[in-house]
A and B are shown apart, each in its own frame.
Chain A
Amino acid sequence: MTVESRSQAMAIAPQAMRARPRLAVMASIIGGLLALFAMAWDLQLAPGSLFSGLDKLALFGAAAIPPSDGGQLPRILKALGETFAMAFAGTCLAAVAALPLGVLGAKTVISQPVVHFAFRRLLDWFRGVPALVWALILVSAFGLGPFGGVVALALADVPSLAKLFSEAIENCDSKPMEGVRSAGASPLSELRYGLAPQVAPVMASQCLYFLEGNFRNAAVLGIVGAGGIGFELEERIRIFAFDEALFIIALYMICVAGLDTLSQKLRARLA
């Protein structure tokens, strides 16, 4: 009986009766390890270079304690505010620009497959340019200051936000829209009552998430001359004022953590 049922099962689904071959998994693990060693060799990731940098880092660390505001607390706070303003303005600008693009990128809006594919690939392609690269270009074009930074943050966010907005629109339930349509509503009212209440909280939550990220990125942009706290930090490090640099970093970390917590609470309420 068991032999008979076994052969019967073999005949129905022979693959399912055999253990899966593990050879491919082993080969990729070994291949991955070999590649890791080759790359470490090429980049000269030797323990020696680690130790030679470590003692310098220790010197910097010693010089940074105790941290000090250098009597410039108001100026640092102002720069911190400027960084937040940059992040906020950049996110708002990106959201406004991403909304129409996101609508156009949704499969449910533009159902023509070639146009949809081309549009999405274009967004993906622009997503490859990080905010730092945009900032380098824009600061040389518009000069030093937050303006270039805000535009850089917005440009870097638009493709990602547009893609997320498109997905939010595609994932929404079509039944409420059908219900509104069945009452004789026009297409715009259908979007207003059937679609917007579903996607607006998702979009707002995504914007908050991007605001968190932009507040962190805005510091890096300051270093390339786009104003804000990064600019102050870069200045302190250049003149080896590590105690003041540590003060700024600590203050900034507290602000980032505060914003993240606040934003997470808001996003949890939107969900």
Chain B
Amino acid sequence: MVIFSTLNGVLYGMLLFLLASGLTLIFSMMGVLNFAHASFYMLGAYFGFQISQWLDFWLALIVAPVLVGLIGAGVERWGLRTVHRWGHVAELLFTFGLAFVIEELVQMIWGKLPVDYRVPPALDFPAFTLFETTYPAFRMFMLLISVAIFLVLLLILTRSRVGLIIQASLSHPHMVAALGHDVPKVFMAVFGVGSALAGIAGVIAGPALVTQPSMAHVLGPILFVVVVFGGLGSLSGAFIASLLIGLIQTFAIAINYSLGDVLMALGVTRPIQGLLNDLWQVTVAQVGPVIPYLMLVLILIFRPTGLMGTRET
């Protein structure tokens, strides 16, 4: 069970990372918390579904993220850049509105019901069996893809010239512009690539989770936790935070102890009656979904820069 929980947790964490990596770069570069980021993830899933219906899944894996990336770049070029001159609040509201527009559009095109996005037959078999429990091949595939993307991203950002410019524009955008680089173009590219990463996450998560109009809404808040927890603009911070949250959420489900049990173990008899009775009986498994937000609150109090961040949120 520990092994499977770890696998599931790492998988969920890696998915989060695919989304958070783009978001944290965009956030730290432009100072905009992109509320529509999870919507790009949803678009990826729906595009993936549609293309795999018409053609096949493998093509969707390549085409859908490119499409989402182009849409993202377009949003930056003709939307955000225009709004930018009115300040950060306008940008924030712009992405906020965009998230609703995308959700409504998705509902208009694909309907409110979840779509039947299936695992491709080539990957629809158990990858391995351990203690009589099988692990689906598609999940292994998801894991491999996201790890591969993480490595590529890391190499580009730390080893290449492009990465150098991006890292420089993160901290000193004016200096980079003065050196003759087209900073707006860098912004557009980062926004596009960030959206494309979210798109990939959507394509591979669509069949395993559920492709429905509310999927962006479910993931959005967790993403912000990852980004803030990891530290702004820090890819490694986002990586650690994603894995941590993935593992915590998965393992929390496995823990049955409640606050009352802990008190009992400490030799304190717990109050059976009264208003707080329910509180004592709530198990860790039940409060699992809240833990990430608790982490967010705590990290903002004790380390406002986030885990690996260098400047304040």
A binds B: no
User: Which positions in A face B, CB cutoff 8 Å?
Assistant: none
User: Which positions in B face A, CB cutoff 8 Å?
Assistant: none
